[in-house]
Every structure is written in structure tokens, then in C-alpha cells.
Amino acid sequence: MDVTYAVPKRLGKNPEDYPDAKSQPHVQVALSIKSRGGTSRAGDVIPYIFCLGPGGDTSKNAQADRARHPDEVRKAENNLQIGILFYFTFSIVTDCSV
């Protein structure tokens, strides 16, 4: 699976210290890493990829809920689909606003 869509973002504080963690993709991924026994702390760069929800849905879950670590996407063996439309739309909006 192509994980070239990974977005790196540095944690400004420990993931559990974010009051708005639900709306921040890198924090959601960091918390997921910790829940599986890994470590994530202030200063770590957390890569994430936006995936589609169940059945290819993009509207029922918040964007941050669909963020996954690249390793998780690689291991999913087609159970997770990258949200290509998000990246395409983001790229066009960014290019047009310059």
C-alpha cells in the first residue's frame, strides 16, 4: 500500500495533555500508539495518513478519527483505504490560494 501521503506533525506536548485531542489527527494517532504499548511524548514527530471510513465513507467520522499511522495502513492489507480525495482536494485548494 502506498503511504506517500503521510503527513508529519510534531507533538507540542504529551498527547494526553491536549484538551482538544479529538480534533487533532497527530494526537489521535499518538494516543493510538500509546494504547498499543508504544511511546509518544512531547517533541515526537507523528506521521499520519487520512483513511476512508467503513464502506468508503468520509462524512460520518471526524477527520481526526480517520487518521492512521503509516505502519497501521501498511499492515491493514486493503482493510484501510487512503482518502485520496481529501489529498486531491487539499492540494487544489492550497495551490489556488497561493
How far is it, in rounded angstroms, from Cα 22 to Cα 5?
21
Q: Are 49 and 3 within 8 A, CB to CB? A: yes
Q: Are 14 and 2 within 8 A, CB to CB? A: no
**Is residue 5 packed enough to be buried (19+ CB in 10 Å), middle (13-18) or exposed (0-12)?**
middle
- Give tens-digit pLDDT for 7-52: 999 999 999 999 999 999 999 999 999 999 999 999 999 999 998 8
**What is the band of 96 on the pLDDT scale with cuts at 50, 70, 90?**
low
In degrees, to the nearest 5, what angle opens at C-alpha 47 toward C-alphas 41 and 48? 115
Rounded to two decimals, what is the model's pTM? 0.81
Q: Three cell numbers at 60?
A: 460520518
Residue 98 identity (one-letter amino acid):
V
More reliable by pLDDT, 30 or 76: 30
